[in-house]
Amino acid sequence: MKRLALLLLLALIQSASAAERPNILFIFSDDHAMNAIGAYGSKAAKTPNLDRLAKEGMLFRHCLVTNSICGPSRATVLTGKYNHLNGFPDNSSFFDNTQQTYPKLLQKAGYQTCVIGKWHLESEPTGFDHWKVLPGQGSYYNPDFLTPQGKERIEGYATDVITDEALKWLKEGRDQSKPFMLCYWHKAPHREWNPGPQELGLYDNKTIPEPATLFDDYNGRASPAREQQMSIDKDMTINSDLKMPWQNGDGEEPKFGGRKGWYNRMTDAQRAIWDAHYNPINEAFRKANLQGKELVRWKYQQYMKDYLSCVAGVDRNVGRVLEYLKESGLDKNTIVVYSADQGFYLGEHGWFDKRWMYEESLHTPLIVRWPGVVKPGTENKNLVSTLDFAETFLEAAGVASPKDMQGRSMVPLLKGETVPDWRAAHYYHYYEYPQPHHVAPHYGVRSETGYKLIHYYLTDEWELFDLNKDPAELKSLYTDNDYATIRESLMSQMKELQVKYQATNPTAPPPKVSTRPLNPGKGKTKGKAKE
Ligand code: SGN
Ligand code: CA
């Protein structure tokens, strides 16, 4: 009899927990290219924890951003809207924090909400029960954080510190009777790709394979590809990006920020580890006196080693959080999402940075583990978007999406369902110009069938790519007669999407808040966006 009662009780508890709303752990890193994740096929990147997450979840091959740059991408994720509607088209914007966001809706529905780490939206976070965010870009070493109580500096390496703070909130900070949404948002692997003490040297004695387009000549494309300022050759700096102390002969001495800024910020102990790693590399480099292609090759290797070391720091820390979820039993009812604000160039076209509608920066990683819903080890090839995140989180939490959000919930895709009317083409618009990096503003569409149309509207130039035949996007077919039908069909898809997204006047400057008229709380988030 007793046994029966016990069994009944167990069954009751189980059905109650099955009906419980899931927690959401939203891991978002900064500038993490798909090509730097093992699960996406990288041969060089060491990402065992992300790879395991992919094995236990679903990996999306085509998660596309709406504007490949930090603040705008985050604004879209929060609002489920394009930048011309959420007022944040470029990094010098200021987020109207009175507008509707998914964290506010989840909070209203009884979720505990929290954001820790990179924010870059300049106004104070709203809709969060707890927040602790980096000012602007934040620092890799001994980062400052903005909190409702003011500024706080925490000693350590940003990726580790952000994780410590996230774990602290998970363990002690939240109301445990409620489900949670934790935005655990990393600074790494953003420029200048400063690795943490634990990862320095991880790629010593390794040679990272070069992309086929490292020495792209930009023929076959419109003028913007030639006129950018994001090339490893011309724009990657020795004294900051490549960690080299300035010396006579390097050109003008950098006056502020850059290496000086972050190097002086380190503690003596951190600096000793740093110097032990970089001094021999720097000496060898000075001695070698490389020129031309050899110099580009060296810069590429050093860039990639730093970048991948930053990625490895993110991966190790993701592992710490996943371990805690497991140990606490939270893993059973927690959706884990890994993504980044955009992709990044890892030497493709000779570049670093992002911004373009070309594949490497248009795509961003997306891996989702959702026990009992997502079949482990699966892949999805639909054109999903960061525009869809808000509505996906809301549906997962059982909250209805407001009509004015512009994405679509990915929950059916996560359940493995085929959705015949999923988007056939994705709309994109990049605005920030001319600095940094001098990438001409453009908008366009990328179709599910592998065609892409881009309009650089300042010079009225167009590009059309056939990704099936030219995956590296080296030859525009815009004026090729064989592609006339495809061009017309892309053009009409683009116009339809502009109507759908209320973007029918794409060349007009989008509404943007660039000052601070919004009553941002106690005004702790000082200053304009520092890029
Ligand atoms: C800084 C970087 C740029 C980068 C922007 C925007 N320069 O300005 O290379 O494109 O941030 O990045 S740096 O020398 O200061 O690193 S974003 O991810 O925040 O959009
Ligand atoms: Ca970014």
Whether residue 198 has pLDDT greater than 50:
yes
Alpha-carbon gap, residue 450 to 356, rounded angstroms: 17
Q: pTM value?
A: 0.94
* Closest ligand to residue 185's CA: 2
Whether residue 522 has pLDDT greater than 60:
no
Ligand 1 pocket mutation, candidates 32, 133, 353, 531, criterion most atoms within 8 A of CB? 531
Q: Could you give the residue ranges of the DSSP H alpha helices within 333-458?
A: 359-362, 389-396, 411-414
Q: What is the pLDDT of residues 211-238, one digit of tens each?
A: 999 999 999 999 999 999 999 999 999 9
Cα–ligand 2 centroid distance for 239 (angstroms): 22
CA angle, 433 as apex, 427 and 434 as ends, to 5°? 150
Cα–ligand 2 centroid distance for 190 (angstroms): 7
* Closest ligand to residue 122's CA: 1
Sign of CA dihedral 51, 55, 59, 61: positive
Q: What is the pLDDT of residue 107?
A: 98
Closest protein CA for atom 11 of ligand 1: 531
Percent of the chain with pLDDT over 90: 89
Closest protein CA for atom 6 of ligand 1: 531
Neighbours of 192 (CB within 10 A): 19
Cα–ligand 1 centroid distance for 432 (angstroms): 12
Sign of CA dihedral 254, 255, 258, 261: positive
Instruction: Read off the pLDDT of each residue in 367-384 and give the average, rounded to a whole number.
Output: 98
The C-alpha R_g of the chain, in whole angstroms, comes to: 23
Sign of CA dihedral 210, 214, 220, 224: positive
Distance of CA 319 to the CA centre of its chain: 18
* Helix (H) / strand (E) containing 426: strand 425-430
Whether residue 514 has pLDDT greater than 90:
no
Closest protein CA for atom 1 of ligand 1: 531
Q: What is the pLDDT of residues 83-120, one digit of tens each?
A: 999 999 999 999 999 999 999 999 999 999 999 999 99
Please give all residues whose beta carbon lies within 6 A of any atom in ligand 1, as ranges: 30-31, 69-70, 91, 120, 137, 190-192, 353, 436-437, 531
Whether residue 412 has pLDDT greater than 70:
yes
Distance of CA 314 to the CA centre of its chain: 12
Ligand 1 pocket mutation, candidates 68, 190, 306, criterion most atoms within 8 A of CB? 190
* Range in 10-24, 61-75, 395-409, 472-486 the model is least confident about: 10-24
b/e 476-502 (16+ beta carbons within 10 angstroms → b): bbbeeeebeebbebbeebbeebbeebe
Cα–ligand 2 centroid distance for 445 (angstroms): 21
b/e 25-46 (16+ beta carbons within 10 angstroms → b): bbbbbbbbbbbbbbbbebebbb
Neighbours of 272 (CB within 10 A): 12
Ligand 1 atom closest to Cα of residue 258:
14
Q: What is the pLDDT of residue 513?
A: 77
* Helix (H) / strand (E) containing 394: helix 389-396
Amino acid at 191: R
Cα–ligand 1 centroid distance for 531 (angstroms): 5
DSSP 363: B
Cα–ligand 2 centroid distance for 342 (angstroms): 6
Cα–ligand 1 centroid distance for 253 (angstroms): 20
Instruction: Read off the pLDDT of each residue in 69-86 and give the average, rounded to a whole number.
Output: 98
Ligand 1 atom closest to Cα of residue 354:
10
Q: What is the pLDDT of residues 446-498, one digit of tens each?
A: 999 999 999 999 999 999 999 999 999 999 999 999 999 999 999 999 999 99
Domains of the chain (ranges, CATH numbers): 21-194+308-417+425-500 (3.40.720.10)
- 528 pLDDT band, cuts 50/70/90, is very low
Cα–ligand 1 centroid distance for 67 (angstroms): 15
Ligand 1 atom closest to Cα of residue 257:
15
Instruction: Read off the pLDDT of each residue in 348-367 and give the average, rounded to a whole number.
Output: 98
Ligand 1 pocket mutation, candidates 66, 186, 191, criterion most atoms within 8 A of CB? 191
Take residue 395 and report the two structure tokens written for it: 């549906």
Take residue 270 and report the two structure tokens written for it: 């951190």
Ligand 1 atom closest to Cα of residue 355:
10
Q: What is the pLDDT of residue 372?
A: 98
Whether residue 28 has pLDDT greater than 50:
yes
The residue to which tokens 């490893």 are assigned: 232
Take residue 340 and report the two structure tokens written for it: 């980044």
Q: What is the pLDDT of residue 18?
A: 42
Average pLDDT of every residue of the chain = 94
Cα–ligand 1 centroid distance for 91 (angstroms): 9
Q: What is the pLDDT of residue 5?
A: 56
Backbone angles phi, psi at 493, to 5 degrees: -60, -40
